[in-house]
Amino acid sequence: MTVQVDVRTFPLFINGTWEPASNGETFDVLNPATGELVARVAKGTEEDVNKAVEAARNAFDNTDWKNMKPKDRSKVLYAISYQIAAHAEELAYLEAISSGGTVRRLGGNDILQMVDLFQTLAKFVEEYPFSETLPSPPFPGPAHNFIWREPIGVCAAITPWNLPMVIATWKIAPALAMGNTVVVKPASYTPLSTLKLAEIISQVVPPGVINVVTGPGAEVGETLVKHPKVDKVAFTGSTDVGRRVMKLAADTIKNTTLELGGKSPNIILEDADLSLAIPGSLFGVFLHSGQLCESGTRLFVPDHLHDAVVEQLVKLAGKIKLGNPLDPATDVGPVISKKQKETILSYIETGKAEGATLVCGGKEAVVAGCENGHFVEPTIFTNVTNDMKIAREEIFGPVLSVIRYKDVDEAIRLANDTIYGLAAGVWTRDVNKAYEVARKLQAGVVWINDWHMLRNDAPFGGYKQSGIGREMGKHSLDAYTQVKHVHTSMVPEIHKRNWYGLLFSNTNE
């Protein structure tokens, strides 16, 4: 990448303008691949959150933004998609230097996914049933009835560090599509691309429609979640923080969407095409160094295929090239931080202590030219049982647990034996068997002979403690509207309103 941008100082983005934090403070953003300082970012305060919410409130309450016709709104969404495409390199660069995501993935997937999301929702908006007319049944009485779908208002979007831009757009795109206004609180490790995204979007929407307040989750995030003038919270992050957000949102009975953690099961059936299942399973777990919520971290393998599968997994995992995310030849970049690296290494120690067998990786990796970065080798454990900590808790790093099974029923039972339910997968040549297994898996998405294939026209979200609600697809539009029923009486004569007889014994007088 050759783009050079000024990443030294990023203020807050409020009401269409850049401004410093009210107390002038900043925090540092470091490149996880090199440890270098890449930016100083405004450390927002409660006062800044109030200001951003007021801007969003004003844009929602006092402008025509929410009343825009679907055709015009669709044009806005297309315009945003073109802006994203035009700034693709800069966005990818900002994200790579802060999140550790490879430019190969960012350019080959994330940017395309964001452009396609805005364009997909632009199409959906034109056909969206903003107003539905109901038939006029005899009960409860003749009337003309509508169902209107209206925007919710000011939406707070709180996002994680693993896919900062993509996850921000999962919230921003449907919110804007339905006429809401937004205040985004990006993760403190990775605020840069979201700030740039807001600036880009602000070129085509009125001031106050999109705002970004950076700063610590416990302050900026909590203030937003509790704020009485915020109508909805869309949160993506860990299940623990999700629990806290849900509790805080309860005081003001906020509409809340939660996209949380996962420990996704991946089942290789006996008849699977192993030439697909083995690279597919590694793709499913090691992309972005295992820091994807829907990574297939538990691999279920039939007893008699176990050794052959493991041999191939180890051989192929050994070829994954760790490196600087800015180098297009890099397969996998660093993990997000020193702290995250230490957490992952501590889980690896736990796995060993629990009796699992380490067959690949297991250590911190040193990458030439990135000696101060935070890299962990792709790691594979065998002899894992589903009750071990490494099979139960989300590690959020490049660690695969291989678990043997005797028959499909056992595999499904173990696959579902988790508090999570974000994603699952099954590899087989028998499509009927695949659907039978998919039906039994408790997860918001099931991939058959594939992994990570999220689509902008399909909903994504979790079963069980992986979350509440869905993002992407038409479902995401529903999630940013509230429903109003409008009844118009068609009976002008009071004596024909026999239902008034429920209260008045005689309406003829």
Nearer to ligand NAP, 153 or 217 (CB): 217
- Give whichever of 179 and 425 is closer to ligand NAP, judged by the CB atom: 425
Q: Tell me the CB-side half-sphere exposure of residue 451, using CA atoms within 13 A.
A: 30
- The two tokens of residue 489 are 């009486």
Cβ-count burial 96-121 (b if 16+ within 10 Å, e if not): bbbbbbbbbbbbebbbebbbebbbbb
Minimum distance from residue 465 beta carbon to ligand NAP (Å): 11
In the complex, least distance from residue 422 CB atom to ligand NAP, rounded to whole angstroms: 6
What is the total residue count of the chain?
A: 509
Nearer to ligand NAP, 312 or 337 (CB): 337
169 or 383: CB nearest ligand NAP: 169
Residue 12: exposure state from Cβ atoms within 10 A (0-12, 13-18, ≥19): buried
**Min CB(124)–ligand NAP separation in Å:** 20
Please report how close the Cβ of residue 371 comes to ligand NAP at its closest, in angstroms: 25
Nearer to ligand NAP, 88 or 472 (CB): 472
Of 367 and 445, the one with the shorter C-beta distance to ligand NAP is: 445
| Interatomic CA distance for residues 384 and 265, integer angstroms | 13
> Residues 454, 460: contact at Cβ < 8 Å?
yes
Interacting residues toward ligand NAP by CB under 6 A:
158-163, 167, 185-188, 216-218, 221-222, 225, 236-238, 241, 244-245, 259-262, 293, 394, 396, 422, 462, 466-467
As given in the structure block, the two tokens for residue 171 are: 């919230």
In the complex, the smallest distance separating the C-beta of residue 149 from ligand NAP, rounded to whole angstroms, is 24
Q: Minimal distance in Å, beta carbon 280 to ligand NAP?
A: 20
Can you tell me the distance from the alpha carbon of 84 to that of 194, in angstroms, rounded to the nearest whole number?
12
Cis geometry, peptide bond prior to residue 138 (ω within 30 degrees of 0) = no
Q: C-beta of 230: minimal distance to ligand NAP in Å? A: 12
Give the Å distances, CA to CA, from 45 to 11, 25, 42, 53, 136: 12, 9, 9, 12, 53
Residue nearer to ligand NAP on the CB measure, 301 or 424: 424
Distance CA 101, CA 96 (A): 5
- How far is it, in rounded angstroms, from Cα 291 to Cα 366? 19
Residue type, 115: V
Return d(Cα 56, Cα 52) in angstroms, integer. 6
> If you compute the radius of gyration of the chain from its CA atoms, what whole number of angstroms results?
25
Which residue matches tokens 């990458």? Answer: 367
Q: Which residues are catalytic?
A: 259, 293
- Helix extents (H) in 62-191: 70-86, 88-99, 103-105, 111-127, 164-177
C-alpha to C-alpha distance for 171 and 262, rounded to whole angstroms: 19
At closest approach, how far in Å is the CB of 91 from ligand NAP? Answer: 18
Three-class DSSP labels, 375-442: EECCEEEECCCCCCHHHHCCCCCCEEEEEEECCHHHHHHHHHCCCCCCEEEEECCCHHHHHHHHHHCC
- By beta-carbon proximity to ligand NAP, the closer residue of 440 and 464 is 464
**476's tokens:** 């995401």
In whole angstroms, how close is the CB of 85 to ligand NAP at the nearest point? Answer: 24
Q: What are 489's strand-pairing partners?
A: 143
Q: Tell me if 278 sits within 8 A of 301, measured CB to CB.
A: no
Give the HSE-up count for residue 76: Cα atoms under 13 Å, Cβ half-sphere: 24
